[in-house]
Structure 1
Amino acid sequence: MRHTLPIAPQFYVTAPQPCPYLEGRMERKLFTALQGEGADQLNNSLSQQGFRRSQNVLYRPSCTDCAACLSARIDVSAFRPSKSQKRAARKNDYLKRRANSPWATDEQYDLFRHYLDTRHADGGMADMDVFEFAAMIEETPIRSRVVEYADPETDTLIAVSLTDVLDDGLSMVYSFFNPELPQSSLGTYMILDHIDIAREAGLPYVYLGYWVPGSPKMGYKARFSGLEAYIQGAWTRVGNPSDLTDSTHHPLSTAPIAEQVASIQLPDRHPTKKG
């Protein structure tokens, strides 16, 4: 008997492991493979439902005793830069932007290692070698770009963002920069520049990944106006970030896995052709 792969994506759950954002808590992820002819459609659909891409996997937090981790995006039409963000833009407007196909280079990896060793030496990516880095950059079944920012005089690489191009926006998969330039606010600048790129391309959103209210590592995301968070199945405009506390996301609000999977809207694999 010949067996065929299932048409619908199959969802799985990771084993619990220590949360990298909130001390004393455990994280768990719901995930599915991103592959085949429908990869772009699936990525677009699930990104709009709070999922994120890591190489050929789409995942979303599904913790049993916490729901503090929220997918975040910026509504480009509602964004208004603050005074500090305007200063960050001015400090870095000398940088040369270049968008390339997803191909890893030694210069990127050197900057990546310097960034991790300085900023995230105890993080989950701290031991990533050059081959794993190349896989992170290059193993993408969808439309991705490596957006580099370089000093135009020396051509020295200053910052990098691995960015996916979605139907409704840009998704900043992973970003890193020269940690010896803290006063330049390079992380903020890259988000500001992606907002400009999205606006120029007519794309309504910039996806920032996950945001954990109360986590110092994630605090910078709350400083962007027009911020939306994916809460209980819907994108919600964030007013005062301090209102989004753990009491707002009681652990009992986390639905069982089977119920979560059943509520996921999958793309139509055979859309009706327009006449």
Structure 2
Amino acid sequence: MTDLKELHFFATPEHNCSYIEGNKAKTLFVDPQTSISVGAFSQLSDLGFRRSGKHIYRPHCEQCQACISVRIPVATFKASKTQRRIISRNKDLVIKHATPHCNDDYFDLYTRYINERHADGDMYPPTREQFVSFLVDGDQPCEFIEYYLEDTLIAVSVTDTLTRGLSATYTFYDPSPEFSKRSLGTFAILWQIAECERLGLDYLYLGYWVQSCRKMKYKIGFRPMEFLIDGQWILIR
């Protein structure tokens, strides 16, 4: 396994924060030329790192600690009444596993999702090159989890496999009003929690939560949850 002490890290110059308008941010990256084992990537995940394509990173801001890494302990998670209804509404979906790649169905779904939900973000406007570099590239074990309604693809979760859990890297789905009652983003997380349980894994890693970021509010709806605070995972009920 890769020894974390041997890794090289690079900090970016200050740039505009993606989460808090008006703030400046720094990001710490693992050298992308380094081959990272699954075990090392899992250790890095426990230290608050995430993956975007070939890049493994975490926030490295000197004056701000707003980005908090969060994960769901599978053994103690309890679905709320609302979440159980969401599971029930989506019982008719067919779930398939695929190796990460780019095709027309994926990119069309991704494009509609970004244009509708994230036109104010860094991923707009979407391109195939961006899709590949963000979701397909990378050396870590990863799957595309496909959600089908009959023969129509309506959602995709990009999911990394760690030694003790799964990492919900990204989910994109059909933003059409006809699917709004399905709460596809929430269902994708609930499915991945169930998949962790099926595989005997301890955690589902959800990336970062920022209290003031409206688009991240959904994450704290999954309880109990663990927050990474001062290097320690703290259970929040």
TM-score bracket for this pair, using the shorter chain length: over 0.9
Structure ID, larger Rg: 1
| RMSD (Å), alpha carbons | 1.4
> 1:34·1:141 contact (CA, 8 Å) conserved in 2?
no
Matched, 1:197 2:192: no
> 2:55·2:138 contact (CA, 8 Å) conserved in 1?
no
Q: Partner amino acid for 1:157?
A: L
Say which SS state the counterpart of residue 197 (structure 1) adopts.
Answer: helix
Q: Partner amino acid for 2:102?
A: A
> 1:33·1:56 contact (CA, 8 Å) conserved in 2?
no
Aligned to 1:113: 111
Deviations 1:164-202 (A, max 9, x none): 000010001111111112221111000000001000000
The structural deviation recorded for 1:237 is 1.1
Q: Partner amino acid for 2:165?
A: G
Aligned to 1:29: 27
Aligned to 1:53: 51
1:169 aligned to which of 157, 165, 172: 165
> 2:164·2:202 contact (CA, 8 Å) conserved in 1?
yes
Q: Map 1:41-190; keep pairs closer than 5 Å.
A: 41-152=39-150, 155-180=151-176, 181-190=179-188
Mapped to 1, the partners of 2:35 and 2:9 lie a distance apart of 18
Say which SS state the counterpart of residue 191 (structure 1) adopts.
Answer: helix
Say which SS state the counterpart of residue 18 (structure 2) adopts.
Answer: coil
The structural deviation recorded for 1:40 is 1.9
Distance verdict in 2 for CA 1:121–1:9, change over 3 Å: same
Mapped to 2, the partners of 1:129 and 1:37 lie a distance apart of 27
The structural deviation recorded for 1:34 is 4.7
Q: Partner amino acid for 1:46?
A: L
The structural deviation recorded for 1:23 is 2.2
Distance verdict in 2 for CA 1:38–1:230, change over 3 Å: same
The structural deviation recorded for 1:105 is 1.4
Distance verdict in 2 for CA 1:37–1:63, change over 3 Å: closer
The 10-residue stretch of structure 1 (112-121 or 8-17) with the greater mean CA deviation from structure 2: 8-17
The 10-residue stretch of structure 1 (35-44 or 186-195) with the greater mean CA deviation from structure 2: 35-44
Mapped to 1, the partners of 2:13 and 2:72 lie a distance apart of 31
- Alignment: residue pair count: 231
Mapped to 2, the partners of 1:80 and 1:35 lie a distance apart of 40
Larger strand percent: 2
The 10-residue stretch of structure 1 (132-141 or 108-117) with the greater mean CA deviation from structure 2: 132-141
Say which SS state the counterpart of residue 69 (structure 2) adopts.
Answer: strand
Aligned to 1:261: none
Say which SS state the counterpart of residue 169 (structure 2) adopts.
Answer: strand
Mapped to 2, the partners of 1:35 and 1:164 lie a distance apart of 19
> 1:172·1:208 contact (CA, 8 Å) conserved in 2?
yes
Deviations 1:48-87 (A, max 9, x none): 1110011121111111221010111100011000011011
Which stretches in structure 1 are left out of the alignment for 5+ residues? 1-6, 240-275
Distance verdict in 2 for CA 1:143–1:225, change over 3 Å: same
The structural deviation recorded for 1:104 is 1.7
Mapped to 2, the partners of 1:93 and 1:36 lie a distance apart of 42
The structural deviation recorded for 1:16 is 1.5
Mapped to 1, the partners of 2:181 and 2:118 lie a distance apart of 18
Aligned to 1:224: 222
